[in-house]
Structure 1
Amino acid sequence: MTKIHPVLDPLPAFWSRDKDDFHEHRTTAELPAEADIVVIGAGYAGTSVAWHLAHDAEDGTPARSIVMLEARGVCEGATGRNGGHMRPDYYGHIPHYIERDGLEAAVELAEFEISHVQALKKFIAKEKIDCDFVLARSVDVWSNDEAAAKAKATYDAMLQHDLDYMDDVYFHHGPDAEAISGVKGAKAVASFTAGMMWPSKFITHLLKSLTSQGLLNLQTFTPVDTVTGSEASGFVVQTARGPVRAKTIIYANNAYVAGLLPEYRNAVIPCKGICTHIKVPDGKTPPHLPNSYIERSEENVLSYLIPRPDGSIVVGGSSRLFSPFREQWYDNVDDTTLIEASKTYYDGYMQRTFAGWEESGAYVDKAWTGVMGYSFDSNAHIGAVPGKPGQYILAGFNGHGMPLIWLGGKGLAKMINPGSPISESGIPYLLRTSQRRLDRANDSAAEFGDIIGDGSLRPTSRS
């Protein structure tokens, strides 16, 4: 069994280039002896639930102390290592969920994801957060004939459900796909509304606000070893720097959650991915690229891409290339190294993929890896940990956390603040953690490597 704890010296990601001293922030020099709530993880998940716990409490709710423990620096896990792409699922995995779980549950999840785009747009504007947020079209491209025909069939099938949100989707299958998308050899193209942002700037802004207002005690470089005790007696969170006693525990450490909750060992598996930053040589102007992309090559290698305001590109993916080499990515928490099978894939990527980039001189400026938490049934786990009162989880995002976590954290805070049942939290049914979901993962042989929908690596068993 792989040790499921973060390594302390990961490859530096592009997003961390502007980090300041707050990256290593400790609100107090000494670890607090106790807290009402301990949040484990200082990424998107932990920050979201902490923000909503602090700001969404109803009048009359007693003030509670919140301590956040992070094994590395601020936002140095998957959130600070992703593609910056807030892209909800309109039709990628939704047809699978319709078939498996029914139309109502699948649509509830799709609408939850889609609602993140406007919710975050409004929140970022309200809080005046400088995180390079851009509202744009996300362009889907298929350059393989068979895959393009299948995408058209999926789109047509989705239209039969008469879903309002599909009105935002544009789809074209035919010879104009290349001109519409700007991708060489495109056979089909679709687009819908999505967002792009600098994730670690967003998270850092929120954590600075929470700590400066005295609403959060943040302790970086404080890995958690164990959590013992009960809600009745109180929990003891043992860290490398000593213990913290708490009444409530929130596990927001995604890929590493099974290191502290072994019952999730088969439900959330750590898996590596790769991402790069591409720029053109100094003195050159990059071709204009206003949209974000999911691009599938003729060989069905999928890449996700966002353009930066400065004209550079953040692009990653290529899972089809490395999925056969399981030791390089599956159950692997070593983000100090690149994935050997795809580490050179993005050399010359813009030139061979996008019209007008042939003479750009675009090159890979930085490449890095990140460790994501992939769930057995392809859905995140949010809610009360089964059989452990006072403990909650927000993890297992399948490399798709950007349109899940913000409102997922809000719903989890609603469960904890006034004690609302999960049915009133706004958390979609498919994302609610449960003993049933854990039993299914533990009773089955979860084999990853099936590439479906948006190209994410999913369990081949979807029952």
Structure 2
Amino acid sequence: MTLSNGATPPTAGTSKCLPTVTPGECFWQIARDELSDHRSTDQLPEHSDIVIIGAGYAGVSTAYHLMKEGAATKTIAILEARGACSGATGRNGGHCRPDFYGHIPTYMDRAGDRAGAEIAEFEIANLRALKKVIEQENIDCDFTLARSVDVWCNEESATKAKAVYDRVVAAGFEYMEDAVFYTGDQVEGICGVKGAKGCASFTAGTMFPFKFISHLIRGLLAAGVNLQTHTPVTSITPDPQGGFIVETLRGKMHAGNVVHASNAYVSGLLPEYSKNIIPCKGICCRITVPEGVTPPLLNNSYINRAEDNTLSYFVPRADGSIIVGGAAAVFRPFKHQWYDNVDDSVLIDSAKDYYDGYMQRTYRGWEDTGAKVDKIWTGVMGYSYDSNPHIGHVPEKKGQFIIAGFNGHGMPVVWLAAKELAKMVANDVPFEDTSMPRLFQTSQFRIDRAQAGKEEDGDILGTGKLAATRP
């Protein structure tokens, strides 16, 4: 492989802590962008005041907010192992969907009602902040703001979901005024899903993630940020003279501060997170109908749980196509295919055919549309032991920061989390003085709990056995 600038990319090897050199093709990135191979300078800079590892949603958003938080006088470099936004951000479903009630009771049980509300409120504020910046900067990223519909096709699961919803309503959280839950004979007619037993809806957003990040990157480059793609970082060591030596497969550079924003791969440079943030593969696809066919209009996004409780997220696009992914219940038993696995060049074999005929068997009126899978791909997400991201100062490593472990739920979280982290990096603001939910703070306690725990006691495998301890 040769880069568009004529250079040859370094070989990242087979370590789970570095991404595969060539990911499988996905819909969002069919048209190759010049940013995929961009290097602001032919050689690495000798020094940068702030080095950000990862040019995805977390890394680019952090750089953007650093420029807004008084760091414009500092030099900033972004080092990316592959092309810009080639990881999970550029391969996800583009669903900016806050969690109003789904997992909130879990956080309430672990740390109290207020802790649960903090997360929901933060994610709702994140959606509003995204809408604001997209409008202010006129970002072309297919952003929509509409309703998202939760659907349960299993009677028992629908009953349990309603109980969860009622519990959050009873807690008096004001934001729940935007949510509504339906049961009874009219559910299928309300949501359009065959066999639906219960459904709920609230405000959410959708977007074209790669377009959004690409716009931000172009602005950063114009402001002087140095982007180095195809530059895998292999080690970070303290410099006796201060700061850090950042070693890459293309050479070394010096950094004043380091921000770890590589999500699923973060334990490669921070081994203490090896059991806290695990790389896990997911599956996503694009469904289209034949030319000349006008399918029934679906202008809501969905989280649909089939009768066997297999969950899929669903994002309609203005071009008439559908982005749908999930199906974790299908491939969960085949652990080696997805758990602790970073090979996004290979589909998850046990689930690669799941979405064939999905629209016909799931949504009313789609039976004769000829809808079929046009593109299917996989991506690598960072799943945390306790389902919360790790954000803040890396314990015992002054000058290093982390923003990672978003559990496939980064779209509703990262933008504001990066804004608050930027305050910590640029202005030495303590985590407690940011607006981030307390459960997001990385800590030695959380690190130790995961290191001492068993896989099945954490949240990643879906067993839900994590003890209700307070972080």
Q: TM-score, normalised by structure 2?
A: 0.94
Aligned partner letter, 1:461: L
Asked if residue 304 in structure 1 is aligned to residue 313 in structure 2, the reply is yes
2:376 and 2:458 mapped to 1: Cα distance? 23
Asked if residue 353 in structure 1 is aligned to residue 362 in structure 2, the reply is yes
Say which SS state the counterpart of residue 288 (structure 1) adopts: coil
Aligned partner letter, 1:101: A
Q: Which residue of 2 aligns with 1:397?
A: 406
Q: Which residue of 1 aligns with 2:43?
A: 30
1:178 and 1:62 mapped to 2: Cα distance? 53
Cα 1:173–1:394 shift into 2, 3 Å = same
* CA deviation vs aligned residue, 1:61-114 (integer Å, no higher than 9, x gap): 671000000001010000001010000111010011111111111111110011
1:19 and 1:425 mapped to 2: Cα distance? 38
* CA deviation vs aligned residue, 1:321-348 (integer Å, no higher than 9, x gap): 1111110110001111111111100000
Conserved in 2, the CA contact under 8 Å of 1:230 and 1:389? no
Aligned-residue offset at 1:156: 1.4
2:126 and 2:258 mapped to 1: Cα distance? 25
Alignment match of 2:92 (pick from 79, 82, 90): 82
Q: Which residue of 1 aligns with 2:141?
A: 131
Asked if residue 461 in structure 1 is aligned to residue 466 in structure 2, the reply is yes
Cα 1:291–1:259 shift into 2, 3 Å = same
Alignment match of 2:453 (pick from 440, 444, 454): 444
Cα 1:231–1:93 shift into 2, 3 Å = farther
Cα 1:450–1:40 shift into 2, 3 Å = closer
Conserved in 1, the CA contact under 8 Å of 2:108 and 2:116? yes
1:108 and 1:232 mapped to 2: Cα distance? 41
Aligned-residue offset at 1:157: 1.4
Q: Which residue of 2 aligns with 1:48?
A: 61
Report the count of equivalent residues: 455
Alignment of 1:44-193 (within 5 A): 44-57=57-70, 63-193=73-203
Cα 1:228–1:450 shift into 2, 3 Å = closer
Alignment of 1:376-387 (within 5 A): 376-387=385-396
1:269 and 1:417 mapped to 2: Cα distance? 29
2:390 and 2:69 mapped to 1: Cα distance? 22
Aligned-residue offset at 1:173: 1.1
Say which SS state the counterpart of residue 18 (structure 1) adopts: coil
Say which SS state the counterpart of residue 245 (structure 2) adopts: strand
Alignment match of 1:335 (pick from 310, 326, 344): 344
Cα 1:36–1:450 shift into 2, 3 Å = closer
What value does the CA root-mean-square deviation take over the aligned residues? 1.6
Cα 1:258–1:459 shift into 2, 3 Å = farther
Asked if residue 5 in structure 1 is aligned to residue 5 in structure 2, the reply is no
Conserved in 2, the CA contact under 8 Å of 1:448 and 1:457? no
1:62 and 1:138 mapped to 2: Cα distance? 38
1:448 and 1:327 mapped to 2: Cα distance? 19
2:65 and 2:32 mapped to 1: Cα distance? 24
Asked if residue 200 in structure 1 is aligned to residue 210 in structure 2, the reply is yes
* CA deviation vs aligned residue, 1:184-230 (integer Å, no higher than 9, x gap): 0000010000000000100000001110221x100000011111115
Q: Which residue of 1 aligns with 2:381?
A: 372
Q: Which residue of 1 aligns with 2:420?
A: 411
Alignment of 1:238-317 (within 5 A): 238-317=247-326
Conserved in 2, the CA contact under 8 Å of 1:26 and 1:220? yes
Q: Which residue of 1 aligns with 2:11?
A: none
Conserved in 2, the CA contact under 8 Å of 1:376 and 1:459? no
Conserved in 2, the CA contact under 8 Å of 1:32 and 1:244? yes
Conserved in 2, the CA contact under 8 Å of 1:319 and 1:457? no
Q: What are structure 1's unaligned runs of at least 5 residues? A: none
Aligned partner letter, 1:224: V
Cα 1:250–1:303 shift into 2, 3 Å = same
Aligned partner letter, 1:15: W
Conserved in 2, the CA contact under 8 Å of 1:230 and 1:390? no
1:90 and 1:437 mapped to 2: Cα distance? 24
Cα 1:135–1:208 shift into 2, 3 Å = same
Aligned-residue offset at 1:359: 0.6
Cα 1:148–1:242 shift into 2, 3 Å = same
Aligned partner letter, 1:307: P
Structure 1 stretch displaced more, 13-22 or 146-155: 13-22
Structure 1 stretch displaced more, 110-119 or 250-259: 110-119
Cα 1:288–1:448 shift into 2, 3 Å = farther
Alignment match of 1:434 (pick from 433, 440, 443): 443
Aligned partner letter, 2:39: R
Aligned-residue offset at 1:232: 5.8
* CA deviation vs aligned residue, 1:124-160 (integer Å, no higher than 9, x gap): 0001100000001000000001001111111111111
Aligned partner letter, 2:431: I
Structure 1 stretch displaced more, 424-433 or 253-262: 424-433
Say which SS state the counterpart of residue 447 (structure 1) adopts: helix
Alignment match of 2:33 (pick from 5, 14, 20): 20
Say which SS state the counterpart of residue 378 (structure 2) adopts: strand
Aligned partner letter, 1:70: E
Conserved in 1, the CA contact under 8 Å of 2:66 and 2:72? no
Q: Which residue of 2 aligns with 1:322?
A: 331
Aligned-residue offset at 1:239: 0.5
Aligned-residue offset at 1:22: 2.0
Cα 1:197–1:458 shift into 2, 3 Å = farther
2:131 and 2:240 mapped to 1: Cα distance? 37
